[in-house]
Chain A
Amino acid sequence: MPGAAWRLWERVFFRPAAPLGLLACRWLVSLQALWILLSRPDLPELVSWPAEFWSGGDPLLRARFGLLGLPLAVERGLYAAAHLSLLGALLGVAPGVACAASAALLYHFAPLEELLVGMPHTSFGGLTLPVLALFVLAFAERPRWRDAPSAEFRWPLALIQLLFAFSYLFPTLAKLRYSGPGWFTGDTIRNYLLGNHSITQAPWALALAGSPAACWAIALGTLALELLSPLTVVWPGFALAFALVALAFHYGILQAIGYFFPSAPLLLLFLDWDGIARALARRGGSSPP
C-alpha cells in the first residue's frame, strides 16, 4: 500500500478513540436489531408453512443460513434466544458472548422471509449491519466506561461505520453499472416518482414529478450523498453533516416514493462519539476517558 494510503488507513482505523463510541455502537445495533425482531413477531412461523412454499428453491441457499428443517418449537426457542441475547448485548451482560450469539442468530433469521424467493432485498430489512456489527463487536476488546482512549476502541467502530457507508455507496455503483451516469437525471427521477406513485401512492410524488428542478435536485443530491458516504469514516465533522442530510434524504424518499429505510436509526453511529466523550468528561470535571 502506498505511503499516503497507509497513513490514511492508520488514521481511520487506529487513531486512539474513547470507549464511548464502541459502547454506543453496541447499544445502537442491539436496539436496532431488537426493534426489527419485535416488529416481526411471527417470523419463525414461516418454517411451518406448507411445504409447497419451500419447494423449488435452492436447498443450499437454505442450508447456508442454517435452515435445516428444525421443528417450529426449536425455531421459536431460537427466536426467543435472539431477543434475550440482544438484551444481554444491550445491557452489557457477558457482552462478548451476547454479541456473538446475537449475530449468529440474526444471521439465521434475517433472510428467512426472503429465502422463499432468493433474497432479492434482504439487505434492506434493517438487520444487515447489525449482523456484521455484532460479529465485529464479538471479535473486539470489551470497552469499559473509564478506559483510556485506545486504537482497540477505534478499529471496530470505524469498520462498522464503513460497512454502513457502503450501503449508500453501493446503490450508486449499481446504478452506474446497470444504467450508467444517465440514471442521475431529472427524467429518471420523474419516471420513478410517477411509476412508484401508481404502486405506493406516496404523497409527495406527483408534486415533485411536476417540477423538473426538484427532479434534477434529487438526482444530483442522491449522487453526491451516496458517492461521498465513505468520507464519514475519515472526517468526523462530515459524518455528522452526512447523518443529518441522510436522515432528510430518507424522509424525502419515504414521502416521495414510499420506500422506508429501517436502518435510519443507525445513522447515530456517525455522531462524533469522541467529541461527546470529551464534552461529558469536561462536564463531569474529570479528564477525558
Chain B
Amino acid sequence: MSELLRLGSFLVFLALGARVRRIRGGAPRRRAVNVLLGYSVALSLLAGATQRDDWPFSSHTIAVGRPRLDAPICMTEFSGVDASGGEWRIDPYSWSPLYDSILQFWFEQRYERLSSEAQGGVLRFLLAKAEAARARLASGKRIGFERRLGPAASPYWLLLPRRPAAPTAYVRLRVQRACWTAASPQQRTRTLLAEHRP
C-alpha cells in the first residue's frame, strides 16, 4: 500500500508538471506553476520532516545515530580462497553492478531465508563473479564502476578500502561476519557464515 501511495505522489507531480506545460501564459499559468511549486516543496518537506522516504522526494537519511565507542560494529566480509589456502578480501567492485556494501545488506537480510540449494546457487554465482573480477584486475584491466571512465568514474558513496588483486585464482568463496568496536578495532572476531567449495 505504501508503495502505491508513493507512486501516486510521484504521478501527481508529473500530472501537475504536464498541466504547467499545457497552459500558456497569463494568470492561469502562474496558478498552475504555483501549484506545482507548492506541491513539490510540500512533498519534499513531508519526506524530510517525517523521515519517510518518497524517492526521488527523499528524506536524505544518513548518519543519524550517536555511536558509542564500545558498541559492536559488524560487517559481512567476502573472501576468496586460493588453491594454497590463502584468503584474500574480495575487491568491493567485484560484484558490479552491485557494490560490496549492498551485497552485504542483501546477504544479511535474505541469504538465510533461501533453501540450501538456492544458497549454493548464490555462492556459486558470486564465486564466478569474484574470480572474473580478480582475473581482470590481475591482468591490469579495470572492473566495476571504473571500467569505462577509469579513475574519473564516480565511486560508490561509501569508500571501502581496495587491496591488490590476488595473483592466483580463487577456488573457494568464504563469507564471514566480522565484529569489533571502535575502541578496539584490531580485536576482531570472525564467524563463518557460508563457504562454497565447487
**B118:A52 contact, CB within 8 angstroms:** yes
**A38:B153 contact, CB within 8 angstroms:** yes
Minimum CB–CB distance for A186 against chain B, Å = 12
On whether A128 and B56 interact (CB within 8 A), knowing A117-B102, A169-B48, A198-B73, the answer reads yes
Task: Kindly state whether residue A131 has any CB partner on chain B within 8 Å.
Answer: yes
Minimum CB–CB distance for B174 against chain A, Å = 19
Residue numbers in A under 8 Å from B61 (CB-CB): 170-171, 174
Residue numbers in A under 8 Å from B157 (CB-CB): 121, 124-125, 259-262
Q: How far is the CA of A192 from the CA of B63 in the complex (A)?
A: 9
**B58:A174 contact, CB within 8 angstroms:** no
Q: How far is the CA of A131 from the CA of B63 in the complex (A)?
A: 24
Task: Kindly state whether residue A55 has any CB partner on chain B within 8 Å.
Answer: yes
Q: How far is the CA of A261 from the CA of B37 in the complex (A)?
A: 27
**A41:B147 contact, CB within 8 angstroms:** yes
Partner of B185 from A64, A169, A197 at Cβ < 8 Å = A197
Minimum CB–CB distance for A76 against chain B, Å = 12
Residue numbers in B under 8 Å from A287 (CB-CB): none
On whether A171 and B63 interact (CB within 8 A), knowing A113-B99, A261-B157, A262-B154, the answer reads yes
Q: Of the 9-residue stretches A43-51, A240-248, A270-278, which lies at the interface with chain B? A: A43-51
**A170:B67 contact, CB within 8 angstroms:** no
Task: Kindly state whether residue B138 has any CB partner on chain A within 8 Å.
Answer: no
Whose C-beta in chain A lies nearest to the C-beta of B107?
A117
On whether A52 and B58 interact (CB within 8 A), knowing A113-B98, A183-B66, the answer reads no
Partner of B36 from A43, A63, A125, A139 at Cβ < 8 Å = A139
Whose C-beta in chain B lies nearest to the C-beta of A117?
B105
Whose C-beta in chain B lies nearest to the C-beta of A122?
B55
Q: How far is the CA of A40 from the CA of B183 in the complex (A)?
A: 36
**A111:B51 contact, CB within 8 angstroms:** no
Contact with B along A188-206 (1 / 0, CB 8 A): 1001101101111110000
Residue numbers in B under 8 Å from A170 (CB-CB): 47-48, 58-61
Task: Kindly state whether residue A58 has any CB partner on chain B within 8 Å.
Answer: yes
Q: How far is the CA of A138 from the CA of B66 in the complex (A)?
A: 41
Residue numbers in B under 8 Å from A117 (CB-CB): 102, 105-106, 109
On whether A55 and B56 interact (CB within 8 A), knowing A64-B3, A179-B65, A194-B182, the answer reads no
Whose C-beta in chain B lies nearest to the C-beta of A264?
B154
Contact with B along A250-289 (1 / 0, CB 8 A): 0000100011111000000000000000000000000000
Task: Kindly state whether residue A216 has any CB partner on chain B within 8 Å.
Answer: no
Task: Kindly state whether residue A177 has any CB partner on chain B within 8 Å.
Answer: yes
For window 147-180 of chain A, which residues contact chain B by CB distance below 8 Å? 155, 159, 162-163, 166-167, 169-171, 173-175, 177-179
On whether A174 and B55 interact (CB within 8 A), knowing A39-B149, A53-B106, the answer reads no
Contact with A along B36-50 (1 / 0, CB 8 A): 110011001101110
Q: How far is the CA of A183 from the CA of B64 in the complex (A)?
A: 8
**B97:A38 contact, CB within 8 angstroms:** no
On whether A40 and B63 interact (CB within 8 A), knowing A52-B114, A120-B105, A131-B56, the answer reads no
Minimum CB–CB distance for A92 against chain B, Å = 18
Task: Kindly state whether residue B160 has any CB partner on chain A within 8 Å.
Answer: yes
**A60:B98 contact, CB within 8 angstroms:** no
**A166:B147 contact, CB within 8 angstroms:** no
**A200:B158 contact, CB within 8 angstroms:** yes
On whether A191 and B66 interact (CB within 8 A), knowing A53-B106, A200-B161, the answer reads yes
Can you list 5 pairs linking A and B with CB atoms under 8 Å apart? A159-B40, A182-B66, A194-B69, A258-B158, A260-B157
| A-B pairs, 10 with minimum CB distance | A123-B58, A170-B48, A139-B17, A198-B185, A39-B153, A170-B60, A60-B3, A178-B64, A195-B182, A117-B105
- Spell out B's residues near A (CB within 8 Å): 3-4, 6-7, 13-14, 17-18, 20-21, 30, 33, 36-37, 40-41, 44-45, 47-49, 51, 53, 55-69, 73, 75, 96-99, 102, 105-106, 109-110, 113-114, 118, 121-122, 125, 144-149, 153-161, 180, 182-183, 185
Given A49-B125, A116-B106, A166-B45, 19 more A-B residue pairs with CB atoms under 8 Å apart are A36-B154, A38-B153, A52-B121, A53-B122, A55-B114, A56-B113, A63-B3, A110-B56, A113-B102, A120-B105, A128-B56, A138-B17, A139-B36, A170-B47, A170-B48, A177-B51, A179-B64, A194-B69, A198-B182
